[in-house]
């Protein structure tokens, strides 16, 4: 009888343990693993670096100690670098060779890489979208083939050297389309959206044919926060397969109403269900200049009343911008990219209008090449 009680006890213990184990397994099945923490990109457009490095510029930290620029920005919070690509640049800068070389350095720092394909031999923006010289006088079919072939070759070369971009931008500030007049959607070509969409579609197809693991985020870029809704509304019927809306915000050219900026950005995110990336931003730390070239900002009326053109005002602007992006609904705000933080008066303060910077008062380094307080905004997680 004693052994019978022991046997029954063992059965009860095993039964209870089995029941507990089953309950634990059911509870674990009900637990949904948390989503990975999304990266918030704090970027810089360093497209000038392949040229500026030839001038042996001494960038300095806040104490005045000379630093390597890429090392310094990475150590102080920058986690993405944007590089522009021109097809056949006349001055040799921003060629695919340049981009490939600098992309390797970016990736070696474990930083993300944003590729800005201009589809031009020089600057492309809302007022200038000139096709590469090699693509002049093509038919519509021929230029679509050229877009596909060129894009696929670029992305293939980058992938083959293990520098596949995290984000690829199809065209630069394409408010008026690109590759004029093939993809122009402005003025007499305002009904040309189908041709523009077809060209963009070929670029997207080329990227996806190389990026078979769907690792790359595809961006379309508009230069104006206020007017971008019209642009993306016109594109919507074509169901283009892109991920991000890229925006420029320069207060000297756009509204200075901060509430309007935030509301328009939020409207873009919710209307089109796309992520938002403020891909070109900047603000002056002074209205003075450090060479003999005129600057893009030199008047108090070009600035935002809430932020003085001073080192602390520049920092405060960046803090506002980051907060605005992070509060976009549904976590659609993915980051920002400061444009040309390194484009200082590289030939000294006697440089002329043909060999100077129009941007030195909007850099993130002062006139002694020392890092400014705005870097604090990059250091915040």
How far CA 124 is from CA of 48, 141, 160, 176, in Å, comes to 16, 22, 27, 11
Secondary structure class of 102 (helix, strand, coil): helix
**In angstroms, rounded to a whole number, what is the distance separating the alpha carbons of residues 354 and 192?**
37
Measure CA of the first residue to CA of the last residue in the chain; give whole Å.
69
Give me the catalytic one of 25, 51, 62, 173: 173
Between CA 94 and CA 100 the distance in angstroms is 10
The owner of tokens 């000294």 is 348
Secondary element (H or E) of residue 153: helix 140-160
Asked if 168 contacts 115 with a C-beta cutoff of 8 angstroms, the reply is yes
Q: Where are the beta strands (DSSP E) in 79-222?
A: 80-85, 112-117, 167-170, 177-178, 183-184, 217-222
Looking from the CA of 246 toward its CB, the CA atoms found within 13 Å total 26
312 included as an active-site residue: no
Cα–Cα distance, 119 to 167 (Å, whole number)? 16
CB 67 within 8 A of CB 102: no
Q: Which of 73, 106, 126, 59 is nearest to 338 (CA)?
A: 73
**Catalytic-residue membership of 62:** no
- Whole-number Å distance between alpha carbons of 275 and 354: 39
Burial environment of residue 212 by CB neighbours within 10 A (0 to 12, 13 to 18, 19 or more) = exposed
Question: Among the options 74, 202, 280, 360, which is catalytic?
Answer: 280
| Rounded CA separation 209/217 (Å) | 14
Written as one string, the DSSP assignment of 170-206 is ESSS-TTEETTTTEE-SGGGTT-HHHHHHHHHHHHHH
Question: Does 181 sit behind a cis peptide bond, omega within 30 degrees of 0 on the bond before it?
Answer: yes
Contact 112, 215 (CB under 8 A): no
Active-site residues, by number, are: 173, 280
């Amino acid at each position: 009888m004693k052994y019978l009680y022991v046997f029954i006890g063992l059965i009860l213990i095993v039964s209870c343990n089995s029941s507990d184990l089953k309950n634990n397994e059911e509870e674990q099945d009900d637990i949904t693993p948390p989503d990975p923490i999304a990266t918030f990109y704090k970027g810089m457009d360093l497209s000038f670096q392949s040229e500026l490095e030839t001038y042996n510029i001494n960038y300095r930290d806040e104490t005045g100690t000379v630093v390597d620029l890429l090392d310094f920005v990475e150590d102080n919070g920058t986690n993405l670098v944007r590089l522009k690509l021109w097809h056949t640049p006349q001055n040799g800068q921003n060629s695919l060779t340049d981009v490939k070389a600098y992309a390797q350095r970016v990736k070696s720092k474990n930083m993300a890489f944003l590729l800005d394909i201009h589809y031009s031999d020089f600057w492309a923006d809302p007022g200038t979208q000139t096709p590469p010289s090699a693509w002049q006088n093509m038919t519509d079919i021929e230029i679509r083939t050229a877009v596909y072939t060129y894009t696929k070759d670029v992305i293939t070369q980058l992938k083959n050297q293990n520098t596949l971009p995290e984000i690829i931008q199809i065209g630069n500030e394409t408010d008026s389309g690109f590759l004029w007049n093939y993809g122009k959607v402005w003025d007499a070509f305002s009904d040309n959206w189908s041709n523009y969409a077809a060209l963009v579609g070929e670029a997207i197809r080329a990227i996806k044919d190389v990026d078979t693991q769907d690792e790359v985020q595809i961006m379309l870029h508009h230069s104006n926060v206020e007017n971008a809704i019209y642009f993306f509304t016109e594109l919507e019927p074509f169901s283009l397969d892109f991920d991000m809306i890229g925006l420029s915000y320069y207060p000297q050219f756009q509204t200075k109403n901060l509430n309007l900026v935030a509301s328009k950005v939020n409207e873009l995110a919710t209307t089109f269900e796309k992520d938002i990336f403020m891909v070109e931003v900047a603000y002056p730390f002074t209205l003075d200049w450090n060479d003999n070239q005129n600057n893009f900002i030199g008047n108090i009326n070009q600035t935002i009343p809430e932020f003085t053109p001073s080192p602390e005002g520049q920092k405060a602007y960046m803090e506002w911008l980051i907060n605005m992006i992070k509060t976009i609904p549904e976590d659609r705000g993915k980051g920002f990219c400061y444009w040309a933080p390194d484009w200082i008066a590289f030939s000294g303060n006697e440089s002329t209008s043909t060999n100077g910077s129009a941007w030195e008062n909007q850099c993130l380094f002062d006139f002694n090449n020392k890092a400014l307080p705005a870097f604090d905004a990059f250091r915040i997680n």
